[in-house]
């Protein structure tokens, strides 16, 4: 343990699985005080037990504004500050092509992938402004860099996250608030199981691991406040 995040309070949204889970473990290893947020209370509680105090499990529905506001209020009440937000929450659906996409599934995708990111951003800005410092890391997708068949609702929502990140930095940088967007390529997470056609094992064998994305988040989070990493593209070398 090098304690690169010693005494930093980090809120990881989407911490119950995949990239969020790996990021929480990486941050805890470096001394951060972790707030673990996702829908699954059981998974969060198990992770909090694994990481030990002061890790704090906070079940939340990111599409519920009041729930998100209450989450951030609890964080500030317990720790007195909030230094880092990592937004890894996101989803996709098998019925993703325009031929079968419905207004309802479109709204669900925008809600989970983009609106949730906005609600979390909106909630963390007041304490970050107060302390004149803060970092928000958004995990988007390489589908933004290289359009693919991940579906228009997924691509549109992940493009939206990029606009949210860059716009937030332009408005909030005078308050010491920085943002970063990470664009992972194919990663071996549960989201892959939602593809309409299973990805061949020989392709998955070359995919990124959640820990790779977690290390990218850690790299950005451990940099001095004078630095700004607008975007970071992370691709599997064997598939690039």
Query: Does residue 1 belong to any structural domain of this protein?
Result: no
Query: Does residue 240 belong to any structural domain of this protein?
Result: no
The pLDDT-based confidence of 98 (bands split at 50, 70, 90) is confident
Query: Does residue 60 belong to any structural domain of this protein?
Result: yes
Query: Does residue 82 belong to any structural domain of this protein?
Result: yes
- Check whether the bond before 54 is cis (ω within 30° of 0): yes
Angle, alpha carbons 83-44-169 (nearest 5°): 30
Token duo for residue 50 = 């694994």
Query: Does residue 239 belong to any structural domain of this protein?
Result: no
Task: Supply the pLDDT for residue 151.
Answer: 86
Q: Which of 87, 119, 138, 154 is catalytic?
A: 154
**Whether the predicted pLDDT of 1 surpasses 70:** no
Task: Supply the pLDDT for residue 240.
Answer: 67
**Whether the predicted pLDDT of 2 surpasses 80:** no
Least reliable range by pLDDT among 63-77, 189-203, 207-221, 226-240: 189-203
Give yes or no for a contact between 73 and 127, defined as CB atoms under 8 angstroms apart: no
Query: Does residue 176 belong to any structural domain of this protein?
Result: yes
Mean pLDDT for the chain overall = 93
Tens of pLDDT, residues 41-86: 999 999 999 999 999 999 999 999 999 999 999 999 999 999 999 9
Range of the domain at 51: 9-234
Tens of pLDDT, residues 126-139: 999 999 999 999 99
Please tell me the distance from the alpha carbon of residue 152 to that of residue 211, in angstroms, as a whole number: 27
According to the 3-state scheme, what is the secondary structure of the chain? CCCCCCCCEEEEECCCCHHHHHHHHHHHHCCCEEEEEECCHHHHHHHHHHHCCCCEEEECCCCCHHHHHHHHHHHHHHHCCCCEEEECCCCCCCCCCCCCCCHHHHHHHHHHHHHHHHHHHHHHHHHHHHHCCEEEEEECCCCCCCCCCCCHHHHHHHHHHHHHHHHHHHHHHHHCEEEEEEEECCECCHHHHHCCCCCCHHHHCCCECHHHHHHHHHHHHHCCCCCCCCEEEECCCCCC
Please tell me the distance from the alpha carbon of residue 24 to that of residue 170, in angstroms, as a whole number: 27
Which of the pair, 100 or 182, is modelled with greater confidence? 182
Query: Does residue 230 belong to any structural domain of this protein?
Result: yes
**Whether the predicted pLDDT of 160 surpasses 90:** yes
Specify the number of domains making up the chain. 1
Query: Does residue 23 belong to any structural domain of this protein?
Result: yes
CATH number reported for the structural domain that contains residue 100 in this entry = 3.40.50.720
Provide the percentage of residues in the chain whose pLDDT is more than 70: 98
Tens of pLDDT, residues 3-18: 999 999 999 999 999 9
Known active-site residue 87: no
């Amino acid at each position: 343990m090098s304690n690169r995040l010693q005494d930093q309070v980090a809120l990881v949204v989407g911490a119950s699985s995949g990239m969020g889970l790996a990021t929480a473990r990486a941050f805890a290893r470096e001394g951060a005080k972790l707030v673990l947020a996702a829908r699954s209370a059981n998974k969060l509680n198990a992770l909090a037990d694994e990481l030990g105090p002061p890790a704090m499990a906070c079940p939340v529905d990111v599409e519920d504004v009041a729930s998100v506001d209450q989450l951030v209020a609890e964080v500030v009440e317990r720790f007195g500050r909030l230094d880092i937000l990592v937004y890894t929450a996101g989803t996709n659906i098998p019925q993703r092509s325009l031929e079968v996409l419905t207004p309802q599934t479109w709204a669900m995708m925008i809600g989970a992938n983009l609106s949730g990111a906005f609600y979390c951003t909106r909630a963390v800005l007041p304490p970050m402004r107060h302390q004149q410092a803060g970092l928000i890391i958004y995990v988007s997708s390489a589908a933004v860099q290289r359009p693919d068949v991940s579906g228009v609702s997924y691509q549109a929502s992940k493009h939206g996250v990029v606009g949210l990140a860059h716009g937030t930095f332009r408005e909030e940088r005078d308050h010491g608030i920085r943002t970063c967007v990470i664009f992972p390529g194919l990663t071996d997470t549960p989201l892959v199981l939602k593809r309409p056609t299973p990805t061949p094992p020989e392709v998955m064998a070359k995919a990124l691991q959640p820990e790779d994305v977690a290390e990218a988040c850690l790299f950005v989070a451990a940099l001095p406040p004078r630095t700004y990493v607008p975007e970071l593209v992370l691709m599997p070398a064997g598939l690039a």
